[in-house]
Structure 1
Amino acid sequence: MDTLSDVLAILRPQTFVSAGLDAGKEWAIQFPPHDGIKFNAILKGTCYLQVEGDENVYLLHAGDCFLLTSGRRFVMGSDLSIPTIHSDTIFSHAKDGIATCNGGGSCFLTGARFHFGDQSARLLFGQLPPVVYVPEKYDQAAVLRWGIERFTTEFRSERFGRRTILEHLAPIMLVQTLRIYMSSPGAKNTGWFAAVVHPNLGVVMQAIHSRPQEKWTVESLSELAYMSRSGFALKFRQVIGQSPLEYLTQWRMFMAAEYLKSTDQSISEIALAVGYESESSFSAAFKKVMGAAPRSYKGSAVK
């Protein structure tokens, strides 16, 4: 069972290839808040990045990548102390998908935006830091660097099938970035990623994701984790921020939402598939988590 792939399959990210940026001389650009997450890769030169609410200032080099996960305003530039210009000033005049600042030539970056219209996005990205920074020097980033090279080649080309290639490469780069984050010290404290890589909780996460229809109890899940019932319940809440059964219910509803959107199964069939023998109990749980009754949710998804 691949827990990360399972969650990404439920999320079904939509890829929006953003314009590249070719900047020259001294520059600083203010970017507004944005929906979803942004993946970016520095292809040439260096620049600085600072995200609103994050005290860190990142010095980015060619080959570095980063995810912007919070939708906050951010500033990029060769010097963040100089007056900024709004991103619309140059991106409104982009040509062939590339915006130019001060004639370009010094720094080039490109990226993609992933927008998720479903509440389930918070499961994966809600507890990530505002910036997930992946330096080029990381040995484990080799696949990501390959993706950057291929992405760059396709981004600058006008070859047949360009859009299709970009739409498949961007999620690969996203997954590789998340893999790197999951193996970093910052991912091993709290949150969904911490639970997935935890030596005891990881097997529980796999069980919940792969067999949501089973009649799980805190006791049966604690046995999988080789922990006492009370110790497991406490550790799970400390890491995830929810009780085991709260998380189980949330995941069941996310799966049910996917079934409602992508299959012709009846509500009673979906209820059974996610562990509910009573359609009314399932409907009540679904509305509590997703904010709408199953029939209403399915109707809005079809439109």
Structure 2
Amino acid sequence: MDLTSPNDTVPAPGGALTEMLRALRLEGVDYGRCELGAPWAVLFPVQKAARFHFIGRAGCWLLSPPGEWMELKAGDALLLPRGAEHILASAPGVQAEPLESYSVEPLQDNVYAVSNGGHGAKTLLFCGSMHFNHDGSHPLLAMMPDMLRAKELMAGEPGIPHLLEAMADEATRNRAGSGMMLARLADVLAAAIIRSWVENSAGDITGWISAIKDRDIGRVLVAIHRQPDRNWTVEALAREMGASRSAFAERFTAVVGETPAKYVAGVRMHQARRWLEEEGMRVSVIAARLGYDTEASFSRAFKRIVGSAPSHLRAAGGASGKG
């Protein structure tokens, strides 16, 4: 799900932010329509994919990532961008079990019905896992809080209340195809939540958000993220901004908080990580694509920035040998 309008093609003041949002997409993985009778508590362990929850009927309690209990009402929606561990429960203190311990039945593609044996008050939830096309190391995802709540962002995104109403209708009426409709609405709502946070709640955040909103530096950042495998010298980046080499380097470092070379290296290794984990690309192919003379020199740079050897990530990702 694209985080921008398909008609938003003309760069404007802040157009770099629009471009970066356009590049960040949500890809639904799986969703569960959960009808749970009290007492119940579901443990959602930490995961790479984002978590999404919508409370369709009655209410429940959330043990949030900071370790505090929060009451949720019908119509609440939550997005946990980096999949932080948390618990949803009928009441605080109920022993939590993983979702897999409940009855899970397939409804349709990527949508499942989840239930338990509780005979108390029934709560209806719609829970999902979503993959971003960028992992949590992307600057935008890394800056987000552990949890975003739709109702707290309504003022900045007028469409959110309508999406919540539509989800509530689909969740409670359980019509034919409601699981698929809920999955589509969840994708759109998650995109609206992120956009609202970026455009409003993140307005006072310094660093990367400020940099991408800067007309000149933002244009440079978009160019880097669009073509991470390009040989980005300081001179080439300075031309993107239309400034001298020294003036560009000084301005970039002051606004972004790190040198152009360090930022480019981080983006390139982020891209390399995606190639390894998602496409199973060979390390030698990635090294050549990113302009390294040898596989060993690339591997050293990758381990220094990412923290682990590229061969380990490729193996963990179930490499397919592409490339």
TM-score by length of 1: 0.68
- Secondary structure, aligned partner of 1:49: strand
Letter in 2 for 1:84: V
- Shift in alpha-carbon separation, 1:187–1:87, aligned structure 2, 3 A: farther
- From 223, 231, 234, give the equivalent of 1:217: 234
Answer yes or no: is the 8 Å Cα contact 1:54–1:130 preserved in 2: no
| 1:92 counterpart residue number | 102
| 2:320 counterpart residue number | 302
Aligned residue pairs total 285
Answer yes or no: is the 8 Å Cα contact 1:29–1:76 preserved in 2: yes
Deviations 1:14-55 (A, max 9, x none): 61313424456xx67463533233111122344443414266
1:41 aligns with 2:57: no
- After superposition, residues 114-263 of structure 1 pair within 5 angstroms as 114=130, 120-123=135-138, 124-135=140-151, 137-138=154-155, 140=157, 142=159, 145-146=162-163, 149=166, 153=170, 156-157=174-175, 159=177, 170-186=186-202, 188-190=204-206, 192-193=208-209, 195-199=211-215, 201-212=217-228, 213-217=230-234, 220-221=237-238, 224=241, 229-237=249-257, 242-259=258-275, 261-262=278-279
- Shift in alpha-carbon separation, 1:271–1:69, aligned structure 2, 3 A: same
Answer yes or no: is the 8 Å Cα contact 1:30–1:84 preserved in 2: no
- From 16, 20, 38, give the equivalent of 2:34: 20
- List gaps (5 residues or longer) in structure 1: none
- After superposition, residues 42-121 of structure 1 pair within 5 angstroms as 42-53=55-66, 58-69=70-81, 71-76=83-88, 80=92, 83-88=93-98, 92-93=102-103, 96-99=113-116, 102-105=119-122, 107-114=123-130, 120-121=135-136
- Paired with 1:119 and 1:146, the residues of 2 have a C-alpha distance of 25
- Paired with 1:189 and 1:28, the residues of 2 have a C-alpha distance of 38
- Paired with 2:191 and 2:53, the residues of 1 have a C-alpha distance of 13
Deviations 1:165-200 (A, max 9, x none): 666554443322211211222464146555434555
| 2:293 counterpart residue number | 278
Q: CA deviation at 1:206?
A: 0.8
Q: CA deviation at 1:141?
A: 5.0
Answer yes or no: is the 8 Å Cα contact 1:271–1:277 preserved in 2: yes
Letter in 2 for 1:34: V
Sequence identity of aligned pairs in percent? 19
Letter in 2 for 1:278: D
Q: CA deviation at 1:143?
A: 5.7
Moved segments of 4+, more than 6 Å: 263-266
- List gaps (5 residues or longer) in structure 2: 1-15, 106-112
- Paired with 1:120 and 1:70, the residues of 2 have a C-alpha distance of 8
Answer yes or no: is the 8 Å Cα contact 1:28–1:84 preserved in 2: yes
- Paired with 1:284 and 1:277, the residues of 2 have a C-alpha distance of 11
Answer yes or no: is the 8 Å Cα contact 1:90–1:99 preserved in 2: no
TM-score by length of 2: 0.65
Answer yes or no: is the 8 Å Cα contact 1:15–1:167 preserved in 2: no
Q: CA deviation at 1:246?
A: 2.1
Q: CA deviation at 1:97?
A: 2.4
Letter in 1 for 2:192: Q
Deviations 1:118-155 (A, max 9, x none): 99433253332121111184462526843773697389
- Shift in alpha-carbon separation, 1:103–1:191, aligned structure 2, 3 A: farther
- Shift in alpha-carbon separation, 1:286–1:70, aligned structure 2, 3 A: closer
- Paired with 1:100 and 1:145, the residues of 2 have a C-alpha distance of 33
- Secondary structure, aligned partner of 1:18: strand
